[in-house]
Amino acid sequence: MINKKSIWFLTLFSLILVLSVYYITMPSELLLNTNANYTDNENNETPTTTVTESTVLVALRVEAEEELLKEMENLQLILNSDESTIEEKNAAFDKMKELNINKGEEEKLESKIKEVYQLDSFVKIRNDQIEIVINKAENDSDLANKIMRTVQEQYESPKYITVKFTS
């Protein structure tokens, strides 16, 4: 039986998750709060900004976030339902925990690729499959091999890793 402490924990956990997803999906211009991208125009023209990240990567991130939020909402409904059995609630909680762990690993791998190779990337983890999309126009098999090795070094068990290049 789920007691009040568990309900409060799940409620606060869900709130923190939603706020963190909101923070992650915010445009970086709102977070930086600098005027570095704006030019002084005396002709009252609109200021110009430069976009550094590929729209493909942004679209992939938005799609992944929507999918994650939808899955979390479904799991939250199972947890809050009176008709759900204890086994179903435990499975839903374990799945929520797994989704959060995967999200953290995806972000860690993206930052590792950015740190080592100075490339923008998108990482999606599903079970033992890791899909990596790199923001680079030309396909480079040597770079793909290096990225795959770098990612595999993070895990003890073998993973099925794919690397795609996009512009």
DSSP codes, the chain:
---HHHHHHHHHHHHHHHHHHHHHHS-HHHHH---TT----TT-PPP-----S-HHHHHHHHHHHHHHHHHHHHHHHHHH-SSS-HHHHHHHHHHHHHHHHHHHHHHHHHHHHHHHH---EEEEEETTEEEEEEE-SS--HHHHHHHHHHHHTT-SS--EEEEEEE-
Task: Tell me the percentage of the chain whose pLDDT exceeds 70.
Answer: 82
Lowest mean pLDDT among 2-11, 30-39, 145-154: 30-39
pLDDT given for residue 34 in this prediction: 47
What number is the average pLDDT over the span 129-158? 90
What number is the average pLDDT over the span 110-131? 91
Distance CA 121, CA 113 (A): 7
Residue ranges and CATH numbers for the domains of the chain are 4-24+55-166 (1.10.287.4300)
Contact between 99 and 71 (Cβ < 8 Å):
yes
Contact between 150 and 113 (Cβ < 8 Å):
yes
Q: State the angle between helix axes of 141-152 and 86-117 in degrees (0 to 180), rounded to the nearest 10.
A: 130
pLDDT given for residue 163 in this prediction: 92
pLDDT given for residue 148 in this prediction: 92
Confidence tier at 111 by pLDDT (50, 70, 90)? very high
Judged against a pLDDT cut of 60, whether residue 2 lies above it is answered with yes
Judged against a pLDDT cut of 60, whether residue 52 lies above it is answered with no
Confidence tier at 129 by pLDDT (50, 70, 90)? very high
| Cα 118-99-136 angle, rounded to 5 deg | 25
Most confident residue range from 16-20, 24-28, 90-94, 163-167: 90-94
pTM for the model stands at 0.63
Mean pLDDT of the chain: 82
Judged against a pLDDT cut of 50, whether residue 35 lies above it is answered with no
